[in-house]
Amino acid sequence: MTQKLPVITNGLLDCDLDRVRGYTELRDEKVLHSYVWAFGYRVQDRKQREHWICRICHTGPLKPRKPTGHCYYAGSGTSKAIQHLKSVHRVTKATDPVTSIDEARNLAGSIQQSISSFPTALPKEFDFEVFKGLILQLFTTEQVPFSLIDAKAFRALLVYLQPLLSDCIPTRTALRRHITKAYNQARTNVEPELHRATSRINLSFDLWTSLSRRLALLGVVAHYLDATYTTRAVLLSLPAVKGAHTAANVASNLSAILRHFKLHQSFGHAITDNASENEACMNILSAELAIPPG
């Protein structure tokens, strides 16, 4: 049986301590055998808990967005450090444990070089806010299920294209939260513009039902001239319609949207298809808002 040799580390000699505040070097009598320690710093937090910080990330060309990024608890094992080295840097157990950190860092450098060699120029610095905006655009403008964000293959693809994303890709729950936040922000921008419109606010709306008839959505779009007399079309709301798709039910939803945006006084005309319930819907809405016929 071959005896494992202890891994030789060089402490925190090349560590930027300003980026990992809150952690200090951990020195004790423990003998380190896992190869991960040849590629990481052994540190402790303020509660004296053992952690591993990736040396390649913190000294290579692709530093993590968060100063304490790629820092993993190692008090009960190094599985997270092993997974990080394999997925981000392609370092495995087969890699020589005494390989110099400079050679290991070339793995990260090769990723940066391959990115810069793409035919289309990519930004030299990764902007997480831009990435988040593109993810929101993908899931709100394309017919993509939320489950995709949790798919291992999709997440692996993103990490391959940008290793810094290994700890930054949102979960399905976080994605919903980001979309809701983005909608609320957009709504605060749209509401003042609607009130500055130089024309009445006209609506177009339609009701969509899924093939299984388990989901019904009412799309409501506002059409108007803004303060510069430019035509605008803005999606106001896409609520789920519960209950029967009657004229009264649709009118109730439209009325709630108009009152939410405070448009019941500036409402002009509505455009929809020629379904019989839509005419009845407009009659109900006109009566509720006291709009004269004609």
Write out the two tokens for 157: 């693809």
Digit-coded pLDDT (tens) for 163-206: 888 878 888 898 999 888 888 888 888 889 999 999 999 999 99
Could you tell me which residue, 259 or 106, shows the higher pLDDT?
259
Q: Select from 166, 191, 216 the last residue of a domain.
A: 191
Per the domain annotation, does 5 fall within a domain? no
Single out the residue of 44, 36, 31 nearest to residue 79, CA to CA.
36
Single out the residue of 64, 56, 20 nearest to residue 39, CA to CA.
56
Q: What is the pLDDT of residue 167?
A: 78
Query: Which residue do the tokens 């100063």 mark?
Result: 67
Digit-coded pLDDT (tens) for 215-227: 888 999 999 999 8
pLDDT band at 85 (very low <50, low <70, confident <90, very high): confident
Per the domain annotation, does 76 fall within a domain? yes
Looking at the structure, do residues 207 and 164 belong to the same domain, yes or no? Answer: no
Q: Which residues 6+ apart lie within 8 Å of 66 measured at CB?
A: 167
Digit-coded pLDDT (tens) for 148-168: 999 999 999 998 888 888 878
Question: Is residue 263 scored above 50 in pLDDT?
Answer: yes
Looking at the structure, do residues 221 and 245 belong to the same domain, yes or no? Answer: yes
Per the domain annotation, does 220 fall within a domain? yes
Per the domain annotation, does 170 fall within a domain? yes
| Residue 169 φ/ψ region, left for φ over 0, alpha for ψ in the -120 to 50 degree band, beta for the rest | beta
Q: What is the pLDDT of residue 292?
A: 62
Q: What is the pLDDT of residue 27?
A: 75
Q: Which residues of 29-38 are buried (b: 16+ CB within 10 A; e: fewer)?
A: eeebebbbbb
Query: How confident is the prediction for the chain on average, in pLDDT?
Result: 77
Per the domain annotation, does 237 fall within a domain? yes
Q: Residue 215 corresponds to which amino acid?
A: L
Write out the two tokens for 15: 């560590």
Burial class of residue 119, CB neighbours in 10 A (0-12, 13-18, 19+): exposed
Enclosing domain of residue 279: 196-288
Looking at the structure, do residues 213 and 271 belong to the same domain, yes or no? Answer: yes
With beta carbons less than 8 A apart as the criterion, state whether 138 and 149 touch.
no
Q: Which residues 6+ apart lie within 8 Å of 82 measured at CB?
A: 34, 36, 93
Could you tell me which residue, 217 or 71, shows the higher pLDDT?
217
How many domains does the structure of the chain reveal? 3
Digit-coded pLDDT (tens) for 110-145: 445 544 444 444 455 777 888 888 898 899 888 888
Q: What is the pLDDT of residue 230?
A: 92
Question: Is residue 108 scored above 50 in pLDDT?
Answer: no
Question: Is residue 81 scored above 70 in pLDDT?
Answer: yes
Looking at the structure, do residues 173 and 242 belong to the same domain, yes or no? Answer: no
Q: Is 222 helix (H, G, I), strand (E, B) or coil?
A: strand
Percentage of the residues of the chain whose pLDDT score is greater than 90: 14
Q: What is the pLDDT of residue 20?
A: 64
Q: What is the mean pLDDT of residues 96-115?
A: 48
Q: Residue ranges of the alpha helices (H) in the chain? A: 55-59, 79-84, 101-116, 128-141, 152-161, 172-195, 247-260, 276-288
Digit-coded pLDDT (tens) for 36-60: 877 777 888 888 888 888 877 766 5
Helices 172-195 and 128-141: crossing angle, nearest 10°? 80
Could you tell me which residue, 90 or 140, shows the higher pLDDT?
140
Looking at the structure, do residues 186 and 210 belong to the same domain, yes or no? Answer: no
Q: Select from 70, 96, 116 the last residue of a domain.
A: 116
Looking at the structure, do residues 30 and 111 belong to the same domain, yes or no? Answer: yes
Q: Is 269 helix (H, G, I), strand (E, B) or coil?
A: strand
Looking at the structure, do residues 187 and 200 belong to the same domain, yes or no? Answer: no
Write out the two tokens for 141: 């403008």
Is the pTM higher than 0.85? The answer reads: no
Looking at the structure, do residues 271 and 219 belong to the same domain, yes or no? Answer: yes
pLDDT band at 212 (very low <50, low <70, confident <90, very high): confident
